[in-house]
Amino acid sequence: MQIAPADAPSLTDHEDNTLSGRTTADLREAIIKGDIKAGEKLNEPSLAKQFKVSRGPLREAIRRLVAMGLVTHKPHQGATVVTLGLDSIMELYDVREALEGKAAALAAQNMSDEQIAHLKRVLEIHRRHHEDTAGEYLQAEGDFDFHYQVIQGCGNRMLADQLCNELYHLVRMFRYQTSRFKSRSQRALVEHEQLIYAIEQRDPQMAEMVMRHHIARAKQSIRNFLTSEEDHEQ
Amino acid sequence: MQIAPADAPSLTDHEDNTLSGRTTADLREAIIKGDIKAGEKLNEPSLAKQFKVSRGPLREAIRRLVAMGLVTHKPHQGATVVTLGLDSIMELYDVREALEGKAAALAAQNMSDEQIAHLKRVLEIHRRHHEDTAGEYLQAEGDFDFHYQVIQGCGNRMLADQLCNELYHLVRMFRYQTSRFKSRSQRALVEHEQLIYAIEQRDPQMAEMVMRHHIARAKQSIRNFLTSEEDHEQ
DNA sequence: GGAGCCACTATTGTCAACAATATGCTCTGT
DNA sequence: ACAGAGCATATTGTTGACAATAGTGGCTCC
């Protein structure tokens, strides 16, 4: 069992060994980590040269990222990295609330005892880490690690794919963009604990409610942070 | 196996005019309507010849369909049309329940009075149609038309895209595969009426509850139908 | 001097040939 | 006759060149 996976070899890297697959992963990480900035245009020849591939695989990679929601594409005008404004983030968190809420409910029904035990261990590791470092940065990735376990345990592959292959990367991108935004880790721990309790009780409604409140609070916290920041800058 | 007729005036056809875009739409309709059967392998050279395009645009089309969930793809082995087993359908309807439930809640908050009036007109048309034809087939597409209006009125573009660009096509494919499955139209009308009431009252929680029950019932109805059919066949 | 048109350039869309990989078949050996 | 290895073939992955389109700059005309 490993906690927050070290670096780029993300949990969702069942990527293939083809150039197209590797390029997708590389380009995706470049965008998420901000090496290619938000709103920037993706120039095919230059990127192809940069990644040392032809334009064919690169274009396929771009198409996959479009499906992921990381870039937009207009015919004959090319692709540009999405800009995550406050509105988009709020929308994203509403979708997360709906999807992960349902995932929590299903997890309460379908998770094996072994999986629940594993979830407890993950929470314990996060708590230790929080105590040791006084609420450190890793919390961000670690937080998703917890959510990831719940999602994988829900038993609905379609739901899990939607969350992990598409929305997850948008969340990561947002977190890289506003890495200065922390806090909430103490509260998150408590809420995660509540969720485990609900799942352990095999109570889908309670699990869904807890998860939805958890995400709704995160959403509100982000809104407060971003709007106050706007005020400061203007 | 035939090619799809060139007419594909789907609701979501903001497709571009490029060969890639048109091929995507054509191939998509061919798969949804069953011209290319479930589980069938997509042979690139042969399909390219049928659609009169090169393999480049065709491959991009396939990639988009993979993102849509209509086909799966394995490196060096090619793409195959998904087979919608009972399990997949159940998963799909759980995702719909979560997403459309939230959409209904948001619609209750954000829909304009004009949009609500339009929704009422759509419902009225469906009711007329139902009375005239004693519960006819068109109900299937009409039903989604109603849901479509709610989704568009929710004001969350990300949510709407997820539903209309991805899940919607899977639902359509399922309906084409089991077009003999009807019924429920009377009940659906009542449930749609309840939803409008909730939206009109600007009651998000009630709207979400009504929508979720509506979809959950549809799910159960499908399960009963498909399992009984299994029994008959075996 | 400004507005509109035209050519040019940079970039995207498309194609056909080439390379690499998987699958199925044959041939051989026991 | 059967199992396994190796080859042949079909299919996918990749490439560089070609075509078409949108944006840009300069030029002319009013």
Q: What is the pLDDT of residues A139-165, one digit of tens each?
A: 556 566 899 999 999 999 999 999 998
**Partner-chain residue, chosen from A18, A56, A64, that has the shortest CB–CB distance to B75:** A18
Q: How confident is the model at residue B234 (pLDDT cuts 50, 70, 90)?
A: low
Q: What is the mean pLDDT of residues B54-71?
A: 95
Residue B12 scores a pLDDT above 50:
no
Query: Shortest CA–C1' contact from B20: which nucleotide?
Result: C13
Could you list the protein residues whose CB lies below 7 A from any atom in strand D? Answer: A 16, 18-20, 53-57, 76-77; B 41-45, 55-56, 59, 73, 75-79
Instruction: Give the per-residue pLDDT at A61.
Output: 96
DSSP code at position B40: -
Q: Which residue of B has its CA nearest to A90?
A: B156
Paired tokens of B13: 């056809």
User: DSSP 3-state assignment of A135?
Assistant: coil
pLDDT of residue B231: 65
CB contact under 8 A, A156 and B75: no
* C-alpha separations of A83 from A26, A68, A225, B166 in Å: 19, 14, 18, 22
pLDDT number for residue A3? 41
Which residues lie closer than 8 Å to A177 by C-beta, 6 or more apart?
A34, A38, A84
Contact B179, B102 (CB under 8 A): no
Output the six-digit token pair for A197: 């309790």
Verify if strand C has an atom below 7 Å from the CB of A77: yes
Any strand C atom closer than 7 Å to A55 CB: yes
pLDDT of residue A56: 94
What is residue B77's predicted lDDT score, i.e. its pLDDT? 93
Q: What is the mean pLDDT of each run of 10 residues along chain A (234 residues)?
A: 39 69 96 95 95 96 95 95 95 98 98 94 86 62 79 96 92 86 76 96 98 96 86 60
Amino acid at A228: S
pLDDT digits (tens, 9 = 90+) for B25-50: 999 999 999 999 999 999 999 999 99
| Residue-averaged pLDDT of chain B | 87
Could you report the per-residue pLDDT of B118-146, keeping only the tens digit for each?
Answer: 999 999 988 888 887 765 555 556 566 89
d(CA B6, CA B47): 15
Q: How far apart are CA B47 and CA B71, in angstroms?
A: 14
Measured in angstroms, what separates residue B33's CA from nucleotide C25's C1'?
36
Helix or strand holding residue B73 (H, E): strand B71-74
3-class secondary structure for B64-105? HHHHHCCEEEECCCEEEECCCCHHHHHHHHHHHHHHHHHHHH
Q: What is the pLDDT of residue B55?
A: 96
Whether B19 sits with its Cβ under 7 A from any strand C atom: the answer reads yes
Which sign, positive or negative, has the C-alpha torsion A135, A138, A141, A142?
A: negative
Contact between A60 and B60 using a beta-carbon 8 Å cutoff: yes
CB contact under 8 A, B99 and A98: yes
- Count CA within 13 A, CB hemisphere, residue B226: 18
Rounded Cα distance, A114 and A120, in Å: 10
Q: How far apart are CA A140 and CA A121, in angstroms?
A: 17
User: Which domains, and CATH codes, for chain A?
Assistant: 19-81 (1.10.10.10), 86-233 (1.20.120.530)
Least Cα separation, residue A65 to chain B (angstroms): 10
Angle at B182 between CA B178 and CA B184, to 5 degrees: 135
The pLDDT value given to residue A126: 84
Predicted local confidence at residue B233, as pLDDT: 61
Helix (H, G, I), strand (E, B) or coil at B1: coil
Instruction: Single out the residue of B145, B146, B160, B143 nearest to residue B106, CA to CA.
Output: B160
- The helix/strand/coil state of A202 is coil
